Structure 1
Amino acid sequence: MEFQDVVRRRRMVRSFTDEPLTAAQVDRLLANAVRGPSAGFTQGWAFLVLESAADRDRFWAAASPASSARDLSAWKAGLRRAPLVVVPMASRDAYLRRYAEPDKAGARLATPGAWMPDDEARWPVPYWHVDVGMASLLMLQTAVDLGLGACFFGIGGPERPAFRAAFGVPDEWDPTGVIAVGHPEEPGTGAAGSPTRRPRKPVDDVVHRGRW
């Protein structure tokens, strides 16, 4: 598929069939994810891959809110049929360690008053999650190229301890989000997404050339 077609066709798919993925499809999704850029080439990412029905059921039981202000049953029913769930995770500590290495920190450490790169407060944004987000987008685009559908969503704060306990996730690793991948249901089935309720903003509304 042409790259521009991949970009144009990418959308969040929230309802899947129960058709399984092939091992080759799963391998390609993951191989493309690790081609993403990362600050300092830290590659401080990890991917929890859940393919078996038992593992996926365990994920949904741990990561689903106990209660919700709105009815998510239809949304979850379609999403839970996805045969693949991947949880991309970031390690803040990997980035702090990387930027304390000589090739990154040497000049700063020799300068009185320079910031210490292993101090999280000195980072303007959490680049560990930025990098995992870019890896996640590569997975979303790869899904389109494979003729599949995918949806990126988050694990709520209250559900994170249960998720960690269910899968033995070390404290160093923090989930950036979740990607469900599978064969999309026919158009018009399943829960509707935000684009059906909100138009895409025109490019001229969000691009500022030269100044704001």
Structure 2
Amino acid sequence: MSGARQAAGGGAPAYQVWAVPGIPEVQAGDDLVKLLAAAVTGEGLPGLADGDVLLVTSKIISKAEGRIVRAGDREAAIDAETVRVVARRGSLRIVENRQGLVMAAAGVDASNTAAGTVLLLPEDPDASARALRSGLREALGVDVGVIVTDTFGRPWRSGLTDVAIGAAGVRVLDDLRGGVDAHGNPLSATVVATADELAAAGDLVKGKAAGLPVAVVRGLPHVVGGDGGDGARALVRAAGDDMFRLGTSEAVREAVTLRRTVREFTAEPVDGAAVRRAVAAAITAPAPHHTTPWRFVLLESAEARLRLLDAMREAWIADLRGDGFSEESIAKRVRRGDVLRNAPYLVVPCLVMDGSHTYRDERRNASEREMFVVAAGAAVQNFLVALAGERLGSAWISSTMFCRDVVREVLGLPSGWDPMGAVAVGHAAAPPRERPVRVADAFIAVR
């Protein structure tokens, strides 16, 4: 029997934790409640009492529930249990599995099971915990909490530890927000993962290879009681709150996929710091001759945006009239051009030819400019993708390219700065429409 959190001095907070021996190899269809009840009341053990917490390794639950599958290829089993790849490095995959857990290999385990088979996690670990708690109450007449545990790695930390993947009758989270610490400082972000702490405590006595899949914690009755709310599912961070939802390459791919042309924005202000971070990503684009052919003009004030857009509208209307368009047609076209006017933030990317080469052959000069234009396009694409990563919508509109002199005059730009359209930036007013599926092979030529 092992003690923990034992402070010096009498009456200090303490609890006890011990492993439960005597549990036989579990087979599919076994009555796990019966096996556990017999084991915890074995000779020399203190049995179970109200307020205890029973920590049960998920593997024995999976075996009892028949979650053993024939699988010569473990990777195929992982594929079947995966709903989202979070990160991949070589053969290692961190994924979100069908239970909503983010972990290595979807929890598919080839250890402690016969050759040619793999062990899947319980179908519903919270339901498994509830069934064990109810069964033990009926068999032994005790009100205990039950936590189903599994071994996880953790971001930023080396080594493995047990965490709770299922729970019943246990307060899995202890929300201390609204209270104060010993110095009277307000606690505004402290939510303790009590169930994970209990799981880790049990793992200290169960061990990874000792054949002791169950442990008991006694002395913390305040964490036991009620129905346990949402069970261990409450420990899974919601997608919207998860700042580390993806690995590096997966985050880049998702940002590229998220990038959409957004034409309607909310009135929510745009964080200028987020736009500047996107510019920092933009200027990593490739460019010819070791040049930096990009400049980004940020129109952060409404006055600057309206002054530019009004001047551009006047120039556009004059051009349309010169081309013989009717007033009705002009009005329709101008209305369609209001995407920039409705955006809370505008950015005008500009091309500069500083460092470009001049040749006697005009064809080579034209190619030289094309190289710089391509570099500008690469920078703008970087910029749009980075904005998507900041959860900002954008629309790259070409209009400033048709009135560059007007833009330079209104914004006071050097004569060598060529506006390359304008980017409307803001928070999307509606979810993006589904993008038509494009098969990569249709855009590939192999020689």
Q: Is 1:5 aligned with 2:254?
A: yes
Q: CA deviation at 1:171?
A: 1.7
Alignment of 1:33-44 (within 5 A): 33-44=282-293
Aligned with 2:355: secondary structure? helix
Aligned with 2:396: secondary structure? strand
Inter-partner Cα distance in structure 1 for 2:362 and 2:343? 36
Q: CA deviation at 1:161?
A: 2.3
Alignment of 1:9-20 (within 5 A): 9-20=258-269
* Equivalent residue number for residue 95 of structure 1: 355
Alignment of 1:166-181 (within 5 A): 166-181=410-425
Aligned with 2:351: secondary structure? strand
Kindly indicate whether the alpha-carbon contact (under 8 Å) linking 1:83 and 1:181 is maintained by their aligned counterparts in 2: yes
Structure 1 length-normalised TM: 0.75
* Equivalent residue number for residue 204 of structure 1: 441
Q: CA deviation at 1:74?
A: 5.2
* Equivalent residue number for residue 149 of structure 2: none
Inter-partner Cα distance in structure 2 for 1:78 and 1:160? 19
Q: Is 1:130 aligned with 2:374?
A: yes
Percentage of pairs with the same residue: 30
Kindly indicate whether the alpha-carbon contact (under 8 Å) linking 1:62 and 1:159 is maintained by their aligned counterparts in 2: no
Alignment of 1:188-199 (within 5 A): 199=436
Kindly indicate whether the alpha-carbon contact (under 8 Å) linking 1:154 and 1:176 is maintained by their aligned counterparts in 2: yes
Inter-partner Cα distance in structure 1 for 2:350 and 2:361? 20
* Equivalent residue number for residue 57 of structure 1: 306
Q: CA deviation at 1:83?
A: 1.9
Q: CA deviation at 1:62?
A: 2.2
Higher helix share: 1
Kindly indicate whether the alpha-carbon contact (under 8 Å) linking 2:296 and 2:350 is maintained by their aligned counterparts in 1: yes
Task: Between 160-169 and 116-125, report the one with greater CA deviation.
Answer: 116-125
Q: CA deviation at 1:81?
A: 2.6
Task: Select the structure of larger CA radius of gyration.
Answer: 2
Cα RMSD between the aligned structures? Answer: 2.7
Kindly indicate whether the alpha-carbon contact (under 8 Å) linking 2:401 and 2:420 is maintained by their aligned counterparts in 1: no
Alpha-carbon spacing, 1:157–1:88, altered in 2? closer, same or farther (3 Å): closer
Inter-partner Cα distance in structure 1 for 2:256 and 2:339? 24
Q: CA deviation at 1:120?
A: 5.8
Q: Write the deviation string for residues 5-47 of structure 1: whole angstroms up to 9, x where unpaired.
A: 1111211111111211123212212211112111122002211
Structure 2 length-normalised TM: 0.38
Q: Is 1:81 aligned with 2:342?
A: yes
- Tell me which of 161, 164, 169 is aligned to 2:408: 164
Structure 1 residues without counterparts, runs of 5 or longer: 100-115
Higher strand share: 2
AA aligned to 1:122 is R
Structure 2 residues without counterparts, runs of 5 or longer: 1-245
AA aligned to 1:5 is E
* Equivalent residue number for residue 103 of structure 1: none
Q: CA deviation at 1:203?
A: 2.5
